[in-house]
Structure 1
């Protein structure tokens, strides 16, 4: 598979991931609004902070390192050794499930059984569901490595739909089950997801002609299971050591990713009812931070996360670890530099647009969403702060997906020391800032940690391409004309907000929106005229993505 084809598949995978995120968000939004009519906010808080954190931590720590290690490198590998390594996620998942389950049951404050019954069962089932999901990990990596986009769409969509339907039916028919409902739905979701992947490969490998056409490294289902060869080692130890380096990093990254939940869970910054408000009750205006978190992270999760996941696979396939740009194949190094520069430009433009226009329209968005209760308090300040965080999040997602795909094992180990210090300071800073300035402390702590991570990645990229003619960091440079357009739009919309929003009634609000639409159109038009290199790249990838779709 050539660079062009891999890039087209990665672009298609990213666009598909974006579509899935949109669908899942809509389903979740509707389901949440329905559930809150029947269940208490304490149960919702336990599920969406405490139990979801147990599940996500178990899965992340057990598989993230193996995914990154096993998706790196080219086709020249012994896939039986790679699959053996992937099966180690299951015993590792059992270990984390038991350890974390014990902590969740013994160390953390248990909720009142009269308010939140069946807490112990919920902990056990959510831990079990994490282990069940890990049973499909070898199949998932095979599918990702060979860009089976349709399989990902069908498996994840079907699983989420079935979980949502089951949850809704149980909430409607048996609301007194409480945590039993979410536990059953979660276990059903992971089982359905694994069965989709297993069923697909069972059918595919049952037809030798289809398996050969897909150029799979396995020819029958037995080849996917752990195997011991007499003439070779059980594991590729170079791959295993790389996984260990990623594991140390994933442990620290999880702290940064789920930091606010850890602070809420272990330090009791908020009670269970407040946690339910923050994570699930934004539709009822019972948690300003939750509204800001959902609105602010919407674009980040919809756009940046699929891009990071998909283009990590591209960089991992194109580049060889242990080699800088001068020792790579020049065609591969040039392709990686071009893609990285374009992705940085997309991230920067998207993040700047959200930041510039978010500052002037945060108050209006919150006023429309929740009325004066949200728009007259600290909500606008929180959302404006989050807009800046989204800009940092966008840049960090792109820089890290390249950095982690190109770093050698030794470089990853050195990076882990920085992550260790950053994780510790993040937790302390989150706690201190939250005590000092409330929910905005979480956003400020996230901005701090994200800035440090971006700096680390930029230093690596600059060093990586230092001796080569390629300068992908040019993607972070905008033309003076475009910067002027952003600055002018920010000034005009700020004045418009001061004069027209939000106590002047709907005619004034519509005028404010019209001003913003005009400024946004002018800014995007300026970007279209000045960023011609990026426009050519996007057009090329759109065509490549469509072509890849006809062959997937």
Structure 2
């Protein structure tokens, strides 16, 4: 019988609890943000919302390029590779932690020039009319740049907490930072209601978010550093761990560059840079495309639909994606490097990973069934209720309804790419980057046709994103099937039918979607949105009356899987079965 992977049960439980904690954090923080945004919408025009979205893309671009590839590479670093023959366990732990801290400073070094470069490019792209219609735009850009650098300064402490699975510290940091951002953004917007501050409240709020993260991570990181005798400042690693393997006949290179930065981790991070660039372009490509092909007003309409439509992705999918990436990296990479002579252990680890991945995918597809059945009909009354009839009638409701079909693709792609990032070799990462470049061309072409030729507006942009995501999911699916099928010991590959909802559940979804369209008036194509909050509430109550029996029917058809998932959440060690 195959022996269990070392510490697999403990890692799985910690990853599951960490994901649950992060989801709870996201729910609380997004609830606070949601309330603040509803007040802000009363002070904003669609044009200013579009400009604030552009500034957010600038900020996210600086953050992403400065730290994304390093974060993934650090998660895949094996602490035992830093040990020398005479190292004690405590010394190995300290060296590993210090190496992680040192790598965190590379993000800061990259972030400062990136903030300057992207800021200059953004300013050069602005038209005179945009500058005239958006007060304090240049000042806000400078504040966003400062906010990005401040957040990156917290990276050395963050990566230590992430590698130690200290999800509680992260929950505290993001809760404090989110609360500060909401208070500062909303407070400055209300204070400047008659002063025409433009997008300045958003910039001040983002700066306060970075300050909050830095304060909490520094406080907790400094305490951990005192207890375990490492430094949050970059420190020279004097001992000589094993060196990297080079071509036969040539001298081996030292494992640390400049006695600070672990070479294998840097090499892996550098191999992921090209992929990160393509991934970010595709992730933020909708904003780039809508900026190029539409007006600021249309950008604001799409931004509103994107913010509400992507709420579930930010609440649930993103924390699960991050936790699963850490879980798969630890389970598969560590097992492969520490027990290469024990094929049973490696096979057991892959079997556990396959079971966990299939369970996660099936849970996503069941949730997607609910979203695509009820979401399009609920889009108009929900938007009327939270943003007002003015926004519901601006085209944002139709865009939000279309976005409901895009959310499942977003979810599946997130977890699939998280798994690929956890196990892919350097060559496989390069191949994925090349294919993502091809998909970016497909995305651009589809966007041009749908926006310029067919004039579908923001809905066309959602469709173009869906085409792009479908391509990426197919590539990841082929990779995952090949990864598990090629494993020793007869591990089977990923089975598509095993992750699909049952035929009964899918039939119930098809019937319910038609019933909902007839019950909820504004769901019918061409129908006017509800005139006010009262009418919107009535439509949502009607939808809930139809949704309740649908959810019960799905629960009956999927009772075995849901029961297994419940046991897994209770920590009884049983993976959900399909």
TM-score (norm 1): 0.84
Aligned residues: 516
Contact 2:27–2:315 under 8 Å retained in 1: yes
Find out whether 1:334 has 2:343 as its counterpart: no
How has the CA–CA distance of structure 1 residues 269 and 489 changed in structure 2, closer, same or farther, with 3 Å as cutoff?
closer
Deviation digits for residues 83-120 of structure 1 (CA, Å, limit 9, x no counterpart): 33331111211121111011011233255555323322
Deviation digits for residues 295-327 of structure 1 (CA, Å, limit 9, x no counterpart): 432222222111111110000111128889969
Question: Which of 274, 286, 289 is equivalent to 1:248?
Answer: 274
After TM superposition, the structure 1 stretch with the greater mean CA deviation from structure 2, 229-238 or 91-100, is 229-238
Contact 2:293–2:451 under 8 Å retained in 1: no
Q: Distance in 2 between matches of 1:178 and 1:375?
A: 23
How has the CA–CA distance of structure 1 residues 319 and 41 changed in structure 2, closer, same or farther, with 3 Å as cutoff?
same
Which structure 1 segments of 5+ residues have no match? 212-218, 280-289, 546-552
Find out whether 1:446 has 2:465 as its counterpart: yes
Contact 1:500–1:511 under 8 Å retained in 2: yes
Q: Distance in 2 between matches of 1:384 and 1:115?
A: 30
Q: Distance in 1 between matches of 2:520 and 2:109?
A: 60
Contact 1:111–1:119 under 8 Å retained in 2: no
Q: Distance in 1 between matches of 2:79 and 2:515?
A: 57
Question: Which of 178, 181, 191 is equivalent to 1:163?
Answer: 181
> Who is 1:315 aligned against?
328
Question: Which of 58, 65, 69 is equivalent to 1:65?
Answer: 69
The Cα shift of 1:155 comes to: 0.6
> Who is 1:34 aligned against?
39
Structure 1 residue matching 2:310: 3-state secondary structure: helix
Q: Distance in 2 between matches of 1:309 and 1:170?
A: 33
The Cα shift of 1:335 comes to: 1.9
Question: Which of 223, 239, 262 is equivalent to 1:236?
Answer: 262
How has the CA–CA distance of structure 1 residues 110 and 239 changed in structure 2, closer, same or farther, with 3 Å as cutoff?
farther
Find out whether 1:494 has 2:498 as its counterpart: no
Find out whether 1:220 has 2:230 as its counterpart: yes
Question: Which of 122, 127, 139 is equivalent to 2:145?
Answer: 127
Q: Distance in 1 between matches of 2:132 and 2:377?
A: 46
Which structure 2 segments of 5+ residues have no match? 1-5, 83-95, 241-253, 574-578
> Who is 1:434 aligned against?
451
> Who is 1:283 aligned against?
none
> Who is 1:458 aligned against?
477
Structure 2 residue matching 1:117: 3-state secondary structure: coil
Structure 1 residue matching 2:320: 3-state secondary structure: helix
> Who is 2:211 aligned against?
191
Find out whether 1:182 has 2:199 as its counterpart: no
The Cα shift of 1:364 comes to: 5.6
After TM superposition, the structure 1 stretch with the greater mean CA deviation from structure 2, 322-331 or 294-303, is 322-331
Find out whether 1:54 has 2:36 as its counterpart: no
Question: Which of 471, 483, 487 is equivalent to 2:492?
Answer: 471
The Cα shift of 1:431 comes to: 3.1
Question: Which of 346, 350, 369 is equivalent to 1:352?
Answer: 369
> Who is 2:247 aligned against?
none
> Who is 1:118 aligned against?
136
How has the CA–CA distance of structure 1 residues 10 and 111 changed in structure 2, closer, same or farther, with 3 Å as cutoff?
farther
Contact 1:296–1:390 under 8 Å retained in 2: yes
State how 1:364-403 maps to structure 2 within 5 Å.
Answer: 365=382, 382-403=399-420
After TM superposition, the structure 1 stretch with the greater mean CA deviation from structure 2, 441-450 or 121-130, is 121-130
Contact 2:302–2:399 under 8 Å retained in 1: no
How has the CA–CA distance of structure 1 residues 36 and 397 changed in structure 2, closer, same or farther, with 3 Å as cutoff?
closer
The Cα shift of 1:70 comes to: 0.4
Question: Which of 85, 88, 99 is equivalent to 2:106?
Answer: 88
Deviation digits for residues 48-81 of structure 1 (CA, Å, limit 9, x no counterpart): x121111000000110000000011433143244
> Who is 2:563 aligned against?
535
Contact 1:201–1:221 under 8 Å retained in 2: no
> Who is 1:302 aligned against?
315
Find out whether 1:76 has 2:80 as its counterpart: yes
The root-mean-square deviation of aligned C-alpha atoms, in Å, is 3.1
After TM superposition, the structure 1 stretch with the greater mean CA deviation from structure 2, 305-314 or 358-367, is 358-367
TM-score (norm 2): 0.81
Deviation digits for residues 323-355 of structure 1 (CA, Å, limit 9, x no counterpart): 899697233222212211211111121112222
User: Larger relative contact order (C-alpha < 8 A, sep ≥ 6)?
Assistant: 1
Q: Distance in 2 between matches of 1:395 and 1:75?
A: 31
Question: Which of 263, 282, 287 is equivalent to 1:261?
Answer: 287
Contact 2:302–2:458 under 8 Å retained in 1: no
Q: Distance in 1 between matches of 2:160 and 2:269?
A: 17
Deviation digits for residues 410-431 of structure 1 (CA, Å, limit 9, x no counterpart): 1101111001111232133223
